[in-house]
Amino acid sequence: MSTDTDLQFSQLGLAAPILKAVQEVGYEAPSPIQAQSIPPLLEGRDLLGQAQTGTGKTAAFALPLLSRLDVGLKHPQMLVLAPTRELAIQVAEAMQTYARHLKGFHILPIYGGQSMGIQLKQLRRGAQVIVGTPGRVLDHLNRKTLKLDKLTSLVLDEADEMLRMGFIDDVETILDHSPDERQVVLFSATMPDVIRRVANKYLKDPIEIRIKNKTATVSTVDQRYWQVSGTHKLDALTRILEAEDFQAMIIFVRTKTSTVDLAEKLEARGYSTSALNGDMNQPLREKAVNRLKKGTLDIIVATDVAARGLDVERITHVINYDIPNDTEAYVHRIGRTGRAGRKGSAILFVAPREKRMLRSIERATRQAIEPMTLPSRNDIKNRRVIQFKELISETLESQNLSFFEEVIDGFQQEKNVGMSEVCAALTYLLQKDRPLQPVEKDIKIKPQREREPGEGRDARGRPERGERSERGRGGDRERKPRRGAEDKPSEGMQRFRIEVGRDDGVQPKHIVGAIANEAGLDSYNIGQIKLHESYSTVDLPSDMPREVFKHLRKVWVCSKQLQITKLEEGERAPKRAFSKADSGDKPLKVKRKKNKSRPPTE
């Protein structure tokens, strides 16, 4: 998140559990809309904000309103209305993250297209925060399954979009069902007369905030994006570094911890890399920047705040390894290259669930960001061969090689071998540590249309007849298990247990959608799904990176965390997929055998 001041979240008066979550997520400083919105919302004031999507407004209202929540009460205290199902889910996930340290906190997204039975069950369990689309919220009000009589705050997110979609009458009806003394927050990108009328009618002496869109086209920067899908991001980054002709580069990540982690991994792969984050003192920061300027350092891995004001002429590339939280941050990031009329390149990594932010960035910059494909094994081979030939030419021009010519002439006479054979042998010896022809597996790139979660699957979560898998050695085989082999995962797959089942109203498509979106995994690579009363099992590639599984443990489906655990063949009771040291989490409270299971290999 970006800001033009040195204000920190710790100075805004947020509740301690909320501030702790913010620091864990890695936000270093509030964006302009957050800095202006959080203090009055903490005071209980109504707020009317005009801001574009991608300015950080979700955190602007969520952080202060969650700070005012009473988790001891189980009835709805906050209602957030969003125009679309996708936005409702996105807001709910963000608020769940911010409230991770609020004990007893429950949030429920409700929207059309989801089973009414699931929502009724969750409403009966109790939730302090409801995030929903106007139509489905109104359905529940009419059924009397949702009561707003004890509501303390109500948020209208993207009000102009709700007007455009014809929801404004529903919104007013919902507002009429809420208490007179509730706090109202209204955000809208534009302020047409109808929205202004709603604000005048339902908001009491509101604070008005208007965030101007400062972003503009960056004409000197070539912008591309790669959609994360089934490939480990670090592997993809390594391929890009091999194929791109860059002098110096900044790689942006969201958190301070990630700067160190990624920098160490790139160093291990032979790249001259350093971290740059807010925890570094000024002398260390200046040392890294000076090394970058002098050419003794080629890559810096940085957070938004740490890289502010960085101007190094050598920087030809910016890679957004983690997508920024707002559009302004994106423009600040890519502004580190293409300065003073020079050409630059910017590459953005985008997970399927982050496409909304990609579109916001394109609108804000008024420039299309073109998709890119990852370099193939053949591309890498050609690149390395070209570099090797250039090295030979430079050596021939700059070095006195007469002694070495004598050595080779003598060898040829002794062994009676041709010059081409000798050169081939020397080339082999020289490139052993970095083969000209890469031996690692190709990154799987399958251009195909995006599917809705669960599309093309039967009731058990398997592809319908005719759907094919390209999973490892499985080649073109159908995904449906052979008769008698239902209890054994396919070759290259591992079976996992997840703690959500039929009792929770889950369907295979919910599991597929969650895993595909969160793991950046193509739905074709998700294996057999079996639903049980209180849990389910799912087959996933055994070579998926460890951090992906750690992340999946915390993913929410049907208002429950997956808590994914590894199963041995024929076993029903779960084993932990990773050790406590691996995950940093508390052990799962489940019965298990004493024998240890190995974690999935990276």
Give me the pLDDT at residue 433, please.
66
3-state DSSP: the chain helix, strand, coil percent, rounded to 5?
40, 15, 45
pLDDT tens profile 163-188? 888 889 999 999 999 999 999 999 99
Helix, strand or coil, per DSSP, at residue 447 = coil
Using 50 as the pLDDT threshold, list the residues of the chain that sit under it: 1-4, 217, 441-486, 573-602
DSSP 489-518: PPTTEEEEEES--GGGT--HHHHHHHHHHH
Q: For the chain, first and last CA: distance in Å?
A: 31
Q: How many helices (H) and strands (E) does the chain have?
A: 20, 20
Distances (CA, A) of 161 to 142, 195, 306, 308, 437: 24, 10, 35, 33, 52
Q: Which of 599, 553, 555 lies closest to 579, judged by CA?
A: 599
Residue type, 341: G
Give me the pLDDT at residue 523, please.
62
Q: Which of 364, 289, 355 lies closest to 331, judged by CA?
A: 364
Task: Tokens for 590, please give them.
Answer: 């489940």
Domains with residue ranges and CATH for the chain = 9-210 (3.40.50.300), 221-371 (3.40.50.300), 377-430 (no CATH), 487-583 (3.30.70.330)
Q: Nearest-5° angle of CA 161, CA 202, CA 151?
A: 90
Give the predicted TM-score (pTM) of the model: 0.48
Q: How do beta strands 299-302 and 536-541 pair?
A: unpaired
In 10 A of CB 155, how many CB atoms? 25
The rounded radius of gyration (Å) of the Cα atoms in the chain is 28
Give me the pLDDT at residue 402, please.
87
Helix, strand or coil, per DSSP, at residue 244 = coil
Residues 130 and 105: their CA atoms lie apart, in Å, by: 12
Task: Tokens for 87, please give them.
Answer: 């936005």
Helix axes 57-67, 16-25, angle to 10 degrees: 150
Residues 109 and 91: their CA atoms lie apart, in Å, by: 9
pLDDT tens profile 290-346? 899 899 999 999 988 777 667 788 899 999 999 988 787 888 888 888 765 678 999
Task: Tokens for 356, please give them.
Answer: 């909304």
Residues 600 and 602: their CA atoms lie apart, in Å, by: 7
Task: Tokens for 277, please give them.
Answer: 């984050």
Q: In DSSP terms, which residues pair with 210 in a beta bridge?
A: 50
Task: Tokens for 466, please give them.
Answer: 């005719």
